[in-house]
Amino acid sequence: MAAQVRLNRYERGIVEVLEESFEYPADVARGIVVRYIDVVRKLGGYDSCFDHAERLHRAYSADHPPEQWLERIRVLETESRLAGAISKLEETHAHVR
């Protein structure tokens, strides 16, 4: 049996928006947030609850798995780190002539 996920206030706010703005029943809305909890926590609480709820609604409606979403985030983070490393190397070599 899976462990119960404890939602923080922000995550409960996303559940409320899914209920009120996207008309999900309470249990379904909570289930969506729980299913995508790793994505929500990875993205952080910078956007409004509505913005997160809208993303989750689109992902849930398209049956987009959270694992695929997390993999895409990982790839983008890796590309960003590599781009930063390359630009630093370019700066170092640009001064050598």
Cβ atoms 69, 34 nearer than 8 A: no
Q: How far apart are CA 57 and CA 75, in angstroms?
A: 23
| pTM for the predicted model, two decimal places | 0.80
**DSSP annotation of 70:** H
More confident residue, 88 or 32: 32
pLDDT tens digits along 4-63: 899 999 999 999 999 999 999 999 999 999 999 999 999 998 999 999 999 999 999 999
SS3 content of the chain, % helix, strand, coil (to 5): 75, 0, 25
